[in-house]
Structure 1
Amino acid sequence: MLKIAWSEIFAHSLPEGHRFPMAKYDLLPEQLLYEGTITSQNLFAPTPLEDAVITATHDATYWHRLRNLQLTPSEIRKTGFPHSKELIHREIVIMNGTVQAALFALEFGIGMNIAGGTHHAFTGRGEGFCLLNDIGIAANFLLRHKGIRKILVVDLDVHQGNGTAEIFREEPRVFTFSMHGGNNYPHRKEQSDLDIPLPDHTDDKAYLHLLRNTLPRLLDEQQPEFVFFQSGVDVLATDKLGKLGMSIAGCKERDRLVLELCATSKLPVTVSMGGGYSTQIAHIVEAHANTFRLAQHIFF
């Protein structure tokens, strides 16, 4: 069964002024339920993640200061959110959503989080609307507790997964692959194991050609036992914070390629939604919904 992490606090714990396009966290499950892609049985509400699992990835001092609202004004500005106890609680629920989705992926082949993809959070700092790194936390959980020996991170958000790259810089068991806008945030990039920076206005044809020529080769070379897929839809031409030129149909083909490769290779995969900032919320929801529709069709 497809299991999807979702909680009302994904959207409702955010500060005023940050709720669009975060309304997608409510609208997306509503759409999937309405059209019959999923039922309520597919959804699970994660609980807050334990401190010990967080500090297995993040610096304990940083986590203590973040949890107790002790970051400096400069540090807070870099995250993009005014901090509150509710916001921190939201973050640790999202983190456990990805950890639990990874455990469901081991059982069913795929697990998904309607939130997550917080790839700009570093070991000891947050930035870019990311306070903690859900992919980093969940990957380390699998390495430590589930005997997984090699993980591939496929980050296809329009922004480089700089925090994830930093977290796993010295970890050979995790291969980080980021294909992103070369002229987009973050302006100072980290070094992933493989980075493919794309020129502005890259269209469906060019994007999909690169991905088809890259991802199967990575699977052959790295022989991962598990995949984390950051499926941000800010690659769309309509995205306010992206600079690429993809259509909703092209974004769907991107997701189909990744998920079909995982399914045919019998690789469990956890999907975190990542970014999406198009002016029309309908474009965001439709592009994200395609990921879930494909997951249901391909794996079940």
Structure 2
Amino acid sequence: MLPLVYHDCYSDLVLPERHRYPIGKYRALYQHLLQAGIPDNWFDCHAAPATTAQLALVHQPEYIKALCQGALDDKSMRRIGFPWSEFLIKRSLQSVGGTIRTMQLALQHGIALHLSGGYHHAFAGEGAGFCLFNDLAVAAAVALQQGVDKVLIFDCDVHQGDGTALLFADEPRVVTASLHGEKNFPARKQHSDWDIGLPTQCQDSAYLDSLYSSFDYLLRLHQPDLVLYDAGVDIHQDDDLGLLQISTDGVYQRDFFVLKRCHDLHTPVAAVIGGGYQRDISKLIQVHSQLFQAACAVYSPAQALNWSG
């Protein structure tokens, strides 16, 4: 089986009409995977929310307290991009806890996938770009605390993982890598250990060449004990915010390559779905589902034969 982490609250956040964030995609993806033949018992739907102590491994205590109590100023909340509510905090803590659980399941089973996560724009003391807490960073810090020696965070969202890069700038046990659109958000990039800025309108061939060479190099050089993979699909040619021209097959080839390399090297990999901003949710989840189809092909070929998504 493939361990998949999900919680019903991911799509329950009520946002203003026409808000840019496609909050409905999480439940729609979950339902799509069930309809595609993914067994219900593959889903772990009971991950514990992240604790304050876990958040404090990477975030400033004052920021955690102010955000959770609704005491951040309006400018800070506008930078995050969501109106504050108690449920926003509940959902964020649950999502971070889900990525922690995904990391732990990957260490046990070799792979695990999270139907949320990828909130890589959150810094130690501020959030940005729909990111309150940096789940990738928290999961990496928890992994180190639990005895993992080296973590590679391989971020393929179209937006640079700036928060993650800065959080681990002085932590040699966590290698940060970002393959992103050079002209996309954030305007001010941070320095990851490995950054590839792709040109606007980049297509499959150039994108995949950069991906293949980068991931192979990083695996050989660092030999990580765990890979945290942000499989953002805002690289897709139909994404409203992406600016790249990657096809659905290109997304599949990317995900298959990353997962297959980890599988062949017996390196545990925990993947999150990351960004994706098509307003048409049905089309968006078809692109997000490539990660799960690739995982079935690599780790559960019999299930892949029955894939109907």
Which bin holds the TM-score, normalised by the shorter protein?
over 0.9
Q: Which amino acid aligns with 1:183?
A: K
Cα distance in 1 for residues equivalent to 2:87 and 2:25: 19
Q: Which amino acid aligns with 1:267?
A: T
User: Which residue is 1:27 aligned to?
Assistant: 28
Structure-2 change in CA distance of 1:112 and 1:73 (3 Å):
same
Matches within 5 A, 1:278-293: 278-293=278-293
Q: 1:19 deviation in Å?
A: 7.8
Count residues in correspondence: 299
User: Which residue is 1:173 aligned to?
Assistant: 173
User: Which residue is 2:299 aligned to?
Assistant: 299
User: Which residue is 1:115 aligned to?
Assistant: 116
Matches within 5 A, 1:93-108: 93-108=94-109
Moved more, 63-72 or 284-293: 284-293
Moved more, 284-293 or 180-189: 284-293
Q: 1:294 deviation in Å?
A: 1.5
Q: 1:275 deviation in Å?
A: 0.5
> Normalised by the size of structure 2, how large is the TM-score?
0.94
Question: Is 1:115–1:274's contact at 8 Å kept on the other side of the alignment?
Answer: yes
Q: 1:51 deviation in Å?
A: 1.0
User: Which residue is 1:277 aligned to?
Assistant: 277
Question: Is 2:6–2:43's contact at 8 Å kept on the other side of the alignment?
Answer: no
Q: 1:279 deviation in Å?
A: 3.6
Cα distance in 1 for residues equivalent to 2:263 and 2:185: 32
Cα distance in 2 for residues equivalent to 1:19 and 1:30: 22
Question: Is 1:162–1:186's contact at 8 Å kept on the other side of the alignment?
Answer: yes
Question: Is 1:226–1:267's contact at 8 Å kept on the other side of the alignment?
Answer: yes
Moved more, 107-116 or 154-163: 107-116
Matches within 5 A, 1:258-269: 258-269=258-269
Q: Which amino acid aligns with 1:56?
A: L
User: Which residue is 2:77 aligned to?
Assistant: 76
Question: Is 1:152–1:227's contact at 8 Å kept on the other side of the alignment?
Answer: yes
Cα distance in 1 for residues equivalent to 2:284 and 2:226: 27
User: Which residue is 1:45 aligned to?
Assistant: 46
Query: Where in structure 2 are there 5+ consecutive unaligned residues?
Result: 301-309
Cα distance in 2 for residues equivalent to 1:76 and 1:254: 34
Instruction: For residue 259 of structure 2, give the secondary structure of its aligned residue in structure 1.
Output: helix
Q: 1:12 deviation in Å?
A: 0.7
User: Which residue is 2:215 aligned to?
Assistant: 215
Instruction: For residue 229 of structure 1, give the secondary structure of its aligned residue in structure 2.
Output: strand
Q: Which amino acid aligns with 1:148?
A: V
Q: 1:38 deviation in Å?
A: 3.3
Question: Is 1:233–1:251's contact at 8 Å kept on the other side of the alignment?
Answer: yes
Q: Which amino acid aligns with 2:161?
A: G
Matches within 5 A, 1:140-219: 140-145=141-146, 147-219=147-219
Instruction: For residue 56 of structure 1, give the secondary structure of its aligned residue in structure 2.
Output: coil
Cα distance in 2 for residues equivalent to 1:175 and 1:154: 8
Q: Which amino acid aligns with 2:245?
A: G
Q: Which amino acid aligns with 1:215?
A: F
Question: Is 2:81–2:129's contact at 8 Å kept on the other side of the alignment?
Answer: yes
1:3-34 residue CA offsets vs partner (Å, 9 max, x unmatched): 22211210112423348622110111111101
Instruction: For residue 296 of structure 1, give the secondary structure of its aligned residue in structure 2.
Output: helix
Q: Which amino acid aligns with 2:274?
A: G
Instruction: For residue 120 of structure 1, give the secondary structure of its aligned residue in structure 2.
Output: coil
Q: 1:232 deviation in Å?
A: 0.4
> Normalised by the size of structure 1, how large is the TM-score?
0.97
Q: 1:280 deviation in Å?
A: 2.5
Question: Is 1:37–1:296's contact at 8 Å kept on the other side of the alignment?
Answer: no
Cα distance in 1 for residues equivalent to 2:112 and 2:36: 20
Question: Is 1:37–1:293's contact at 8 Å kept on the other side of the alignment?
Answer: no
Instruction: For residue 27 of structure 2, give the secondary structure of its aligned residue in structure 1.
Output: helix
Q: Which amino acid aligns with 1:242?
A: G
Q: Which amino acid aligns with 1:112?
A: L
> Among the aligned pairs, what percent are the same residue?
38
Cα distance in 1 for residues equivalent to 2:113 and 2:230: 10
Cα distance in 1 for residues equivalent to 2:285 and 2:41: 18
User: Which residue is 2:68 aligned to?
Assistant: 67
Question: Is 1:122–1:167's contact at 8 Å kept on the other side of the alignment?
Answer: yes
Cα distance in 1 for residues equivalent to 2:152 and 2:188: 23
Instruction: For residue 63 of structure 2, give the secondary structure of its aligned residue in structure 1.
Output: helix
Query: Where in structure 1 are there 5+ consecutive unaligned residues?
Result: none
Cα distance in 2 for residues equivalent to 1:49 and 1:267: 25
Cα distance in 2 for residues equivalent to 1:143 and 1:6: 24
Question: Is 1:21–1:281's contact at 8 Å kept on the other side of the alignment?
Answer: yes
Q: 1:100 deviation in Å?
A: 0.6
1:263-292 residue CA offsets vs partner (Å, 9 max, x unmatched): 001010111111001243222101111101
